Amino acid sequence: MFVAAQMTDDRPPQPGAPPPDLGDFGDRLRRAQGQNEPVGPQETGAGGVNAKGMGAAFRIATELIAALVVGAGLGLLLDRWLGTRPILLLVFLALGMASGILSAFREAKRMGAASE
Amino acid sequence: MEEAGHAEHSPLAQFEIHRLIPLEFFGIDASFTNAALFMLISVALITWFLMAATRGQNLVPGRLQAMAEASYGLIAGAVRDNVGTEGKQYFPFVFSLFMFILFANFIGLIPHTFTVTSHIIVTFALAMFIFIAVTIIGLWRHKLHFFSLFLPHGVPIFLAPLLVPIEIIGYLTRPISLSVRLAANMLAGHTMLEVFAGFVVALGIFGFAPFLFVIAIYGLEVIVAFLQAYVFAVLTCLYLSDAINLHKH
Amino acid sequence: MPQMDFTTYAPQLVWLVISFVLLYVLMARMALPRIESILSMRERRIEGDLTEAAEMGRKAEAAQKNFDKVTSETRARAQKLASESRAAANTAQLARMAKKDAELAEQAKKSDAEITAARNKAMGSLRDVAADVAQAAAEKVTGSRISRDVALQAIDAELKARG
């Protein structure tokens, strides 16, 4: 049955038959033209991966610790330069913590936006 | 990964650097090490892969060519989406960076190999280069206006003394978090694999359960190897975007 | 931890720079231009195929339009021909009928004339007979013969009076 159906579909148009319908040709062509657009952002996804959750937690932890380390380093440097030890170290530790939380927050927001 | 059966063999032994050919230029130790060897292997494999895949220049790509085109499309898309058309001139750099990290990560997953990207100095050097380059690009394009990056839009001016240091710390944190993230992922993943592979060997016939676990971790590590390379490339794009477009992400 | 062995940093950095610069040059000069050329070639090819398909579609549409036009033209001509021939047939018929009518009218006129002539002739002989009868009657009654002219005059007057 399937073969027969296929064969009837492939039959060339009869000489006396009305010319083939051009109605959907334009639609199909437009669809094909749409597909030839350069690669869009939807093709650039890294793929839905379960490891993302673990990676996200790790990334946020890295962000927090790194900011704290940078804050502490800046504080120590400024303390040594201005001779204010340990005031600026404490101040910059706090700022580092805030910065870490801020960038972790931004990271989370970005990941949320990316997963949508 | 090194053989893990011996008690005196630490899981960290796989990260050791051996000087294969001791060299010195102008007082700098430039010895050809196993790390150097695997860096060159990565470069050779990337080049071979891309050149062999595109040799036919086929209109309808085969599997290899499709992979080469997919890697191109992935990074081209990341640069275009995050930086815009002005990022085009930096595309070869981001692509090289992505492929280098990706191949270094993947090669490291083969037993008895060395993982270039598990060394913080390597990832830190890459991150630091990006950090300095991005800062120079930003200063060169926007002159002093570049520092508006540290004061988010729509923030009351009395908060500036608090927010500007926080943003500066955030900016300076970039190379550290970028490099630590990659190196720590590689270090942790490979150490974990080594440890559980050790269990498999030590338990002999009873090592069946850890063996399954090793396979699961291995699959996870393959994904992590790819994701870390991609994240490194995307973050590079975001930093470039900050320097070029000056607005906050 | 091998990562914290600072003596390995220098050789790692040196070879990182060497291999990454090498990779960058290989990518920027060889691999990426090749991939780009493949991609743009494919895009051009697909673009070309699509425009060709659009062109073909336009041609097919034009052919169909032409087909439709020729068909409707032919139909119109056929209709015109049919109506023309019908009209021609009509006029021929009318002409024939008019001719027949004329012929009939002619014949009718001729017949009329013949009838009139016959009647006149009959009337003429009737006058003669009446004159004869009148002469004979007058002779019989009066005993004198009246002239033929008088008899005819009297008959004509009488005929006129009667219409």
Q: What one-letter code names the amino acid at C52?
A: E
> C42 contacts in B (CB within 8 Å)?
59
What ipTM score was computed for the predicted complex, to two decimals? 0.89
**Chain A 31-60, CB below 8 Å of chain C: which residues?**
32-33, 36, 38
Distance from C-alpha of A87 to C-alpha of A64, rounded to nearest angstrom? 21
Residue C112 in tokens: 């009329």
Residues whose CB is less than 8 angstroms from the CB of residue B187 and which lie 6 or more positions away in sequence, other chains included = B15, B118, C3
Residues of A in contact with C61 (CB under 8 A): 22
8 A C-beta contact, residue B83 and residue B241: yes
Q: Are C61 and A22 a contacting pair at CB < 8 A?
A: yes
Packing angle of the helix pair A87-115, A51-82 (nearest 10 deg): 160
> What's the pLDDT band for A20 if we cut at 50, 70, 90?
low
Give contacts of C48 with chain B, Cβ < 8 Å. Answer: none
pLDDT of B4 reads: 43
Residue C54 touches chain A, beta carbons under 8 Å = yes
A22·C67 Cβ contact <8 A: no
In chain C, residues with a C-beta closer than 8 Å to the C-beta of A38 are 43
Which comes out higher in pLDDT, residue A27 or C52? C52
Domain annotation covers residue B192: yes
Print the domain residue range for C137. 2-162
Q: Is the residue at B2 inside a domain?
A: no
Closest Cβ opposite residue C47 in set A25, A26, A36: A36
Q: Do B99 and C23 touch (CB under 8 A)?
A: yes
| pLDDT value at residue A22 | 64
Distance CA B100, CA B92 (A): 12
Neighbours of chain A (3+ CB pairs under 8 A): B, C
Predicted local confidence at residue C18, as pLDDT:
95
Q: Regarding predicted confidence, which is higher, A106 or C67?
A: C67
Count of structural domains within chain C: 1
Number of domains chain B is built from:
1
Tokens of B183: 């190196």
Instruction: Classify residue B6: in a domain, yes or no.
Output: no
Cα of B194 to nearest chain C Cα, Å: 15
What amino acid is encoded at B58 in this protein? N
Q: What Cα–Cα distance (Å) separates residue B197 from each residue in B9, B204, B210?
A: 13, 11, 8
Least CB-CB distance to A66: which of B162, B166, B180? B180
State which residues form the domain around B66: 11-245
Contact C46 A36 (CB under 8 A): yes
Which of helix, strand or coil describes residue B26? coil
Query: pLDDT in tens for each of the 163 residues of chain C?
Result: 788 787 888 889 999 999 999 999 999 999 999 998 888 888 888 888 889 999 998 999 999 999 999 999 999 999 999 999 999 999 999 999 999 999 999 999 999 999 999 888 887 787 788 888 888 888 888 877 788 888 888 888 887 887 6
> Least CA distance to C43: which residue of chain B?
B59
Decide if B113 contacts B1 (C-beta within 8 A): yes
Q: How far apart are CA A79 and CA C99, in angstroms?
A: 136
B4 domain-assigned: no
- What crossing angle do the helices spanning B34-53 and B63-82 adopt, rounded to 10°? 100
Task: Determine the distance in angstroms separating the CA of B170 from the nearest CA of chain A, rounded to an integer.
Answer: 6
